[in-house]
Amino acid sequence: MFLWSLAALTLVAARWIDPPTTAVHVERRVQAWIHHKPYRERYKFVPLNQISPDLQHAVIAAEDGRFYEHHGFDWHQIQIDAQGDMEGGRVRGASTLTQQLVKNLFFGTGRSILRKGVESTLVPVAELVLGKRRILELYLNVVEWGPNIYGAEAACRAYYGTPARSVGREQAARLAAILPAPLRRRPERMNRYSGLILERMREMGW
């Protein structure tokens, strides 16, 4: 209960204070230390208005198309995925940006039923105290975008040598395409998936 309260208070503070680190950052730092590998973290928090609208839209289209419609859980997508799973089909995944943010901040990349349960109790808190704009701003700034690369500013500079505010539409789609597996994927290889993201953006009016 104490740890949950601490996490909830951290979310309240995150409404005004940019997080200096996250559970994922710490996890990667520890992994590098255990395997005696060099670690140089690239992480710079920037305001949402300094992140290209194209990149904002690409990430929403790729990761959480109903971001502005749900309250932390996309029950519509969950139902679709459950049906696809029962029928043996490939499912897209229903984890929302809010869920991913909570996981990034507090739980790292591990998976467990217990972690999922605690995460589900923090998601409504995040939605309530942060609001959509701040959730999106936090997510875009802390999410892992490659080895030791965290956030939109670091990703745009690492992959394209440009600040996040200047990244173009196709580049944005390619960056969004690597988010499901940032340690394995590279933007230049994401031709097919980035094309699908661009199509989703057009369908959403962006």
| Structural domains of the chain, with CATH | 2-203 (1.10.3810.10)
pLDDT, residue 113, reads 84
Which range among 81-95, 103-117, 146-160 shows the weakest confidence by mean pLDDT? 81-95
CB atoms under 10 Å from CB of 88, counted, come to: 6
Per-residue pLDDT tens over the stretch 35-61: 999 999 999 999 999 999 999 999 999
What average pLDDT does the segment 180-206 reach? 97
pLDDT, residue 116, reads 83
C-alpha 125/C-alpha 109 separation (Å) is 21
Which range among 21-35, 77-91, 133-147 shows the weakest confidence by mean pLDDT? 77-91
pLDDT, residue 56, reads 98
pLDDT, residue 80, reads 64
Q: Which residue has 């739980």 as its token pair? A: 107
Which of 202, 197, 205 has its CA nearest to residue 61? 197
Per-residue pLDDT tens over the stretch 115-160: 888 899 999 999 999 999 999 999 999 999 999 999 999 999 999 9
Evaluate whether 45 touches 141 at the Cβ level (below 8 Å). Answer: yes
pLDDT at residue 82 tops 90:
no
**What share of residues in the chain are helix, strand, coil (percent, to 5)?**
60, 5, 35
Evaluate whether 101 touches 135 at the Cβ level (below 8 Å). Answer: yes
CB atoms under 10 Å from CB of 121, counted, come to: 12
CB atoms under 10 Å from CB of 116, counted, come to: 13
**What predicted TM-score, i.e. pTM, was given to this entire model?**
0.91
User: How sure is the predictor about 190, in pLDDT bands with cuts at 50, 70 and 90?
Assistant: very high
pLDDT, residue 186, reads 96
Of the two residues 155 and 86, the one the predictor is more confident about is 155
Evaluate whether 47 touches 163 at the Cβ level (below 8 Å). Answer: no
Here the contacts of 179-182 (C-beta below 8 Å, separation 24 or greater) are 179/59, 179/62, 179/63, 179/143, 179/145, 180/93, 182/143, 182/144, 182/145, 182/146, 182/149
Share of the chain above pLDDT 90, in %: 81
pLDDT, residue 86, reads 42
CB atoms under 10 Å from CB of 178, counted, come to: 24
As a whole number, the mean pLDDT across the chain is 91
Cα torsion angle, 103, 108, 112, 114, sign: negative
pLDDT, residue 22, reads 97
List, in order, residues 6 or more apart from 45 with CB less than 8 Å away. Answer: 18, 19, 141, 142, 151, 153
pLDDT at residue 111 tops 70:
yes
Of the two residues 171 and 94, the one the predictor is more confident about is 171
